[in-house]
Amino acid sequence: MMAPPINPYAAPRADSLDPPLQGLRIDYYEEDGCLVVRDGSRLPALCVRYGEPAEGELKTRTVRHVPTWTIWTFIVFSPLIGILLMLALQRTYRVTFAISERARARRRLGLLIGFGALVAAIATIYAAATLGEGMLILLGIVGVWVGIFLTLTNGQPYRVRKASGDYVYLQLHADALYEFERYKQQHQPAPEPVAVRQVNPHSPF
Average the pLDDT over 36-64 and give the result. 88
Percent of the chain predicted with pLDDT > 70: 76
- Indicate if the alpha-carbon torsion angle 68, 72, 77, 80 is positive or negative: positive
List phi, psi (to 5°) of 21. -70, -35
Helix (H) or strand (E) holding 112: helix 101-131
Q: What is the pLDDT of residue 93?
A: 93
| pLDDT tens digits, 96-137 | 999 988 888 888 888 888 888 888 888 888 888 887 777 877
Task: Judge if pTM exceeds 0.85.
Answer: no
Per DSSP, the three-state class of 173 is coil
d(CA 128, CA 148): 20
| pLDDT tens digits, 60-81 | 999 988 887 777 777 677 778 7
Q: What is the pLDDT of residue 94?
A: 93
36, 43 in Cβ contact below 8 A?
no
Kind of pairing, strands 91-98 and 42-47? Answer: parallel
30, 177 in Cβ contact below 8 A?
yes
